[in-house]
Structure 1
Amino acid sequence: MKIIKSASLDTIDAICIDVESTFTKGLPNFTIVGMISTSISESRDRVKSALLINGFKFPPLKITINLSPSEISKKGTHFDLAIALQIAFFDTNKIDFSDYYFFGELALDGNIKDTSLIFPLVLSLSKKGQINKVVVCEESAKKLVNIPNLEIYKIKNLNDAIEFVKIEDKEKYLYEKKDIKYKTLQIEDEKYFYDTNYLEDFKDVIGQDMAKFAAMISAAGNHNLIMEGSPGCGKSMISKRLRYIMPPMSLEEILEKAKLQALDFKEVDFIPLRAFRSPHHSSTKSSIFGGGSSNARMGEIALSNNGILFFDELPHFPKSVLEALREPLEDNKILISRVNNKILYETKFIFIAAMNPCPCGNLLSSVKECRCNELEIQRYKNRLSEPFLDRIDLYLVMNDSFNDTKNRVTSKELHENVIKAFTKQKNRGQKELNGKLADEDIKKYCILDEESQIIMEKARFNYQLSFRSINKVLKVARTIADLNDNEIITKNDILQSLNFRRR
């Protein structure tokens, strides 16, 4: 019995699937079994049409195609190619398919198409070391070309696929590898990529020097940031420009971003620009955290992994959403449990939020009068709990003064500073940036001089800082020290870090 390899997604990980077939005497029939979805069931008509149009005789036998293992639910139209090859070579067992994986949807005329699942499938198999050679169409090959240690063979249609299987010299179908053409940063053995096209530039933000400094700290160390200020003072402008000054991305992070784009049914790109997700405050809890009764779907926090999750009008988000954010902000992962499956998502995003100081927004305004009473303001503030705020690294109160029009810092200048700080962190041997350091790494990398230790002890007593708050202060101080090119944390670094704590 011939076996042709393909794969199916189990939530976000790929599982190898063996496409098997039997051809027995009996009334002509064509069935596909193995816990298949409607999209696979419909492939019978696509495969039959493609074979007949291209001159192949459909065997007058009882054809049974099995997708093994049968207990796993399978979906996707990419099984078409493997199923068609099983039927095209039904009368021979001499051909060995074992070295190759086949993916592709068949058009009715036999042309092979790309599908949204092929890239995440191949990437997942490659990370597990289960795939070396893959046969796909040209559109799929363009996406897969950036995956390392992978031989890609490009075919156009069913006739090409059949010829590829028959011939011994398969080199003419080999797809040429191409490098990612962006600026690179080499740190030891790892290569990092970054883009210098600043489509939204910080030079458009008038004034707000402290907010720009906070944004640079946030980007350089992956720190969570909340900005509080009057409407129109620049909170959203700064948040949307933050992604352009984020640290360079490794090839693994670029591929992971592309995988999430494919799973979100978006066009895949390989630009070293981190994800930016901005759900509306009326979004449901399931849309933000992921869910679904049978198949768990990814939410906004999973799709923003290695990027930015931005909440505008923060207090207007439901209390249940804000409280549920505490675990992914602290642990950098979230477990979605359902009756049929459980899935663990990584959530290493920067959480950025913008909020008004009161319901009417004018409490901090220098030109408008606040219309809210004390009870309304207190209720508005109480929407954010202390445990939630304790997970925020940088808390900034912005004014609405636009007098300072001279200091127009650009995104390019901020990005260069971020890259310098990023390089220092990686050269220290840090696997994670400062904002995501584990407790044991804080002791190793966040070293204070004598003056800083005295100030930290006084701050702990005067501000009644929790253990988590102390760690947040140390992490921010470490990033500020990196931006100031200091090997250890100095008095100025720790004072600036304490200045960004919420009081």
Structure 2
Amino acid sequence: MKIIKSATLANIDASEVSVESTFTKGLPSFTIVGLPSDQIKESKDRVKSALLTNDYKFPPKKITINLSPSEIKKTGTHFDLPIALLISLYEEKKIDFKDIHVFGELSLNGEIKDSNNIFPIILSLAKQSKINNVLVCSNSAKKISKIPNINIYCVKNLLEAIEFFHEKDKSKYLYKKDMLEYEKININGKEFYYENYYENDFFDIKGQENAKKAALIAAAGNHNILLEGSPGCGKSMIAKRLPYIMAPMSLDEILEIAKLQALDLKEPNFKPVRVSRSPHCSSTKASIVGSSNSLGEIALANAGALFFDELAHFPSSILESLREPLEDNCLLISRANSKVKYNTKFLFIGAMNPCPCGNLLSTNKSCRCNELEIKRYKNRLSEPFLDRIDLYVIMNETNINDKPSVDSKSLHEQVIEAFKMQILRGQNELNGKLNDKQVNKFCILDEESTAILHRATNSFNLSFRSINKVLKVARTIADLESSVSIKKHHILESLNYRRR
């Protein structure tokens, strides 16, 4: 029996799979066992065609391919190559398949293709320290070359893959690693990447100085923000520009976003720009939350931003399902036969009108809503949900005299300086995602600031969660001013952003 190592995706993580083969006497047949999906069952015809078109005779034996462990459902077309290698090299006794993982889909003429699952699988195995060497095609190698601490061997077709295992010196197949060519900063020996490109620029926004400052704070500390204002005042404009000025990204974050892009059937771009997801208010709960088998918008927004426009029009079941992801930065989905945990460290951006018609705050237009309609509209957002919002901003109406005041580049530079302070302070999370223990460690107040916070707690009946959010926002405001300690005016400004 010969074995080649490969792997399969189980939800969003990879499980190692041993592709085993036996060739016994009997009526010629070709069987794949071990809970293969229909994709894998179809590989029999691809493998046969690839071997026969390359002048390899298909063995006249009873061929059994087993994908072990058998209790895990196997999916993906990348099992074609290891299966074809086991069949083509079944008489070779000296060939060693150990310490190398093989992935690749075969075309009918033996060319090796990339598939969407290969990059997420190899990244997951690398994080689990289960992979050292990998054999793939050139398209796959280009993607996985960003993953550190693995050797990548590249072949074009089945014939080259067979030659690879006959060669003693495999260095000529070694793929040169690609480096990320973006702006970067080095903090305590760790590199963080960012891009000086702003597809949507804050310079396009006229006026709204308070909202711009709140967006700056949100980007610098990864704080959840809710923008409320009349239609056309610039809520969506701010939301679309905010991801471009968010904090620099580590290589792990870039690879994680690329993994999510691949799982979403998109081509990974490996850019150090935070992803932004903006589902429509008519989206189903399954598409937002996801399931044990498919990713939802919440999971796809990890390490980026999740924007809910017309927030009050989202079903209450969806808004309430955001409580756990906003609080714990993770989402656990439990079903009868499976449990899957998604990371949800995203910046939540909400935008809503002040009333159903949108004119409640307008000085030029009259509101057509009665008190009952306004109350019903506001009550769509529960207090527990609103308590998880760090920054609440009421935006002004647009004015013909409003002018641009700041561009995205200058805001991003401030975010980067605040980011440096947070990392140099020893934080492994941005201020908005600190847990209670970390808040006590990094958000220390003097006596005067503590007295102000106590008075505000009594006056506004702040919850323990609200107090921590005030502290975290104040910490970010202090970082933006390059202040080592949180001062009185930082607490006062932070309290100004709380919803009352």
Does the alignment reach a TM-score above 0.5? yes
Measure, in 2, the Cα distance between the counterparts of 1:129 and 1:405: 55
- The match for 1:210 is 210
- The match for 2:127 is 127
Shift in Å, 1:34: 0.6
- The match for 1:390 is 387
- The match for 2:197 is 197
Measure, in 1, the Cα distance between the counterparts of 2:402 and 2:385: 35
- 1:171 and 2:171 correspond: yes
Where does 1:3-402 land on structure 2 (aligned, <5 Å)? 3-291=3-291, 296-402=293-399
SS in 1 for 2:79: helix
Aligned residues: 500
Aligned amino acid, residue 231 of structure 1 = P
**Partners of 2:418 and 2:480 within 8 A in 1:** yes
Provide, for residues 376-409 of structure 1, a one-character-per-residue CA deviation record: whole Å limited to 9, x for no partner. Answer: 0000000011111001000000011334534420
Aligned amino acid, residue 358 of structure 1 = C
Larger mean CA deviation between 138-147 and 23-32 belongs to 23-32
SS in 2 for 1:501: coil
- The match for 2:466 is 469
SS in 2 for 1:78: coil
Measure, in 1, the Cα distance between the counterparts of 2:295 and 2:153: 31
- The match for 2:433 is 436
Provide, for residues 289-313 of structure 1, a one-character-per-residue CA deviation record: whole Å limited to 9, x for no partner. Answer: 112xxx5211111110111011000
Shift in Å, 1:178: 1.8
Aligned amino acid, residue 304 of structure 1 = A
Consecutive unaligned residues in structure 1, runs of 5 or more: none
Aligned amino acid, residue 203 of structure 1 = F
Measure, in 2, the Cα distance between the counterparts of 1:356 and 1:93: 72
Shift in Å, 1:423: 0.3
Match of 1:454 among 451, 464, 468: 451
Provide, for residues 11-48 of structure 1, a one-character-per-residue CA deviation record: whole Å limited to 9, x for no partner. Answer: 11111111111111111111111100000000000000
Shift in Å, 1:94: 1.5
**Partners of 1:35 and 1:71 within 8 A in 2:** yes
**Partners of 2:205 and 2:404 within 8 A in 1:** no
Aligned amino acid, residue 422 of structure 1 = F
Measure, in 1, the Cα distance between the counterparts of 2:482 and 2:180: 30
Measure, in 1, the Cα distance between the counterparts of 2:479 and 2:446: 15
SS in 1 for 2:78: helix
Aligned amino acid, residue 449 of structure 2 = S
Measure, in 1, the Cα distance between the counterparts of 2:131 and 2:471: 43
- 1:496 and 2:497 correspond: no
Measure, in 2, the Cα distance between the counterparts of 1:380 and 1:25: 74
Shift in Å, 1:367: 1.4
- 1:413 and 2:401 correspond: no
**Partners of 2:33 and 2:67 within 8 A in 1:** yes
SS in 2 for 1:134: strand
Provide, for residues 321-342 of structure 1, a one-character-per-residue CA deviation record: whole Å limited to 9, x for no partner. Answer: 1111111111111111112211
Aligned amino acid, residue 215 of structure 1 = A
Shift in Å, 1:451: 2.3
Measure, in 2, the Cα distance between the counterparts of 1:384 and 1:254: 33
Measure, in 2, the Cα distance between the counterparts of 1:31 and 1:85: 15
Shift in Å, 1:492: 1.1
**Partners of 2:132 and 2:149 within 8 A in 1:** yes
**Partners of 1:296 and 1:341 within 8 A in 2:** no
Measure, in 2, the Cα distance between the counterparts of 1:105 and 1:442: 49
Normalized against structure 1, the TM-score is what?
Answer: 0.98
Measure, in 2, the Cα distance between the counterparts of 1:236 and 1:391: 21
Normalized against structure 2, the TM-score is what?
Answer: 0.99
Shift in Å, 1:257: 0.5
Shift in Å, 1:440: 1.1
**Partners of 1:81 and 1:106 within 8 A in 2:** yes
Measure, in 2, the Cα distance between the counterparts of 1:245 and 1:251: 18
Provide, for residues 78-117 of structure 1, a one-character-per-residue CA deviation record: whole Å limited to 9, x for no partner. Answer: 0000000000011122211012111000000000000000
SS in 2 for 1:424: helix
Measure, in 2, the Cα distance between the counterparts of 1:102 and 1:466: 54
RMSD: 0.9
Measure, in 2, the Cα distance between the counterparts of 1:143 and 1:27: 43
Aligned amino acid, residue 42 of structure 2 = E
Measure, in 1, the Cα distance between the counterparts of 2:358 and 2:422: 39
Measure, in 2, the Cα distance between the counterparts of 1:447 and 1:25: 76
SS in 2 for 1:305: coil
Aligned amino acid, residue 57 of structure 1 = K
Larger mean CA deviation between 16-25 and 445-454 belongs to 445-454
Aligned amino acid, residue 92 of structure 2 = T
Provide, for residues 109-163 of structure 1, a one-character-per-residue CA deviation record: whole Å limited to 9, x for no partner. Answer: 0000000000000000001111010000000000000000010011000000000
Aligned amino acid, residue 67 of structure 2 = L
**Partners of 1:296 and 1:338 within 8 A in 2:** no
Measure, in 1, the Cα distance between the counterparts of 2:401 and 2:37: 61
Shift in Å, 1:449: 2.5
Shift in Å, 1:491: 1.3
**Partners of 1:36 and 1:74 within 8 A in 2:** yes
Percent identical residues: 64
Shift in Å, 1:200: 0.5
Measure, in 2, the Cα distance between the counterparts of 1:404 and 1:249: 38
Q: Which runs of 4+ in 1 moved over 6 A?
A: none
Aligned amino acid, residue 338 of structure 1 = R
**Partners of 2:204 and 2:404 within 8 A in 1:** no
Aligned amino acid, residue 53 of structure 2 = I
Aligned amino acid, residue 208 of structure 1 = Q
